Amino acid sequence: MTRESCEPAAQPELTETQVAAWLLEHPDIFVRNPWLLEHLTVPHQCGGAASLIERQVALLRQTNRDLCRQIENLLHVARANDALLANMHRLTLALLEARHFDEAVSLVEEALRERFRIEWVALRFFPDCGLPPASTFCLPEEVVESFRQLFASGEAYVGTPQKRHRTLLFPGETSIRSWALAPVGHHRLTGVLALGSSDETRFWPGLGKVFLQRLGEVIGARLESLLEPSVSWR
């Protein structure tokens, strides 16, 4: 058997006459497959102008395409929100399992880097939150007021990093192009959660802040419960 005989024979292309003949033999094809009509162009002759029916059909097709795109966008957002909630749930469980303050901080920073794909993460607290003044987690007293003013509205800050705060939270890091600063605390403001990215579009002013605020509340609630004399400090 030759190689040529093993290859399938090329199928001849159908002519318009053959297609028309087949349609005549199957006049109910569009009844059984109405979706085909959405992809056909059938002009409705009405003198030299397009008919009202033809115009309506064109508008309906465009509306259908727009709705399909909207549904795809909604599905994309829904999947992203599901993933976000799943990661938030895992982070909450990890916080509940932490026995010491420094362990909880490390778990938060690690989870945000690995699960949320955030390049730079820092958790820092105000001196009056209950930590020893010499703790590496504490912010200097002289900068606390600037952070309190930043969170005066109760919302997270999202946008371009200020050089003063960036140097304080991420010493030596000059590649951060956008970041989010979320207030940390449950009963009161006790610190700041900083998330940085080299992508200037990752954290932009129009980004929703609800998740960041709830994340700060959850972290703050758990860490407040771990602020005890017996806690293990760095």
Tens of pLDDT along 201-218? 888 877 778 888 889 999
Confidence at 177, pLDDT banded by 50, 70, 90: very high
Same domain, 76 and 107: no
> What tokens appear for 176 in the block?
């951060």
Tens of pLDDT along 86-123? 888 888 888 888 888 888 899 899 989 988 899 999 99
CA-CA distance, 234 to 220, in Å (whole number)? 19
Which residues form the domain of 204? 100-225
The number of domains in the chain is 2
**The domain boundary residue, chosen from 75, 97, 119:** 97
- Residue, of 53 and 228, whose pLDDT is higher: 53
**The domain boundary residue, chosen from 47, 66, 97:** 97
Tens of pLDDT along 62-76? 888 888 999 998 888
159-171 mean pLDDT: 87
Same domain, 184 and 124: yes
The answer as to whether 218 is a domain residue is yes
**Residue 173: CATH number of its domain:** 3.30.450.40
Same domain, 61 and 122: no
Give CA torsion, residues 100, 103, 105, 106, to 10 deg: 180
Residue 198 has pLDDT above 90, yes or no: yes
Tell which residue, 128, 151, 131, 135, has the closest CA to residue 216.
Answer: 151
Same domain, 88 and 179: no
> What tokens appear for 71 in the block?
């549904």
- Whole-number pLDDT of residue 42: 61
- Whole-number pLDDT of residue 121: 93
- Residue, of 180 and 207, whose pLDDT is higher: 180
The answer as to whether 154 is a domain residue is yes
pTM: 0.64
**The domain boundary residue, chosen from 97, 118, 147:** 97
Same domain, 88 and 187: no
The answer as to whether 91 is a domain residue is yes
Same domain, 70 and 114: no
- Whole-number pLDDT of residue 6: 52
CA angle at 181 for the pair 201 and 105, rounded to the nearest 5°: 120
CA-CA distance, 30 to 18, in Å (whole number)? 17
CA distances from 128 to 135, 138, 170 (A): 12, 9, 22
The answer as to whether 234 is a domain residue is no
Same domain, 141 and 167: yes
- Whole-number pLDDT of residue 118: 92
CA-CA distance, 61 to 55, in Å (whole number)? 10
The whole-chain average pLDDT of the chain stands at: 81
Confidence at 233, pLDDT banded by 50, 70, 90: very low
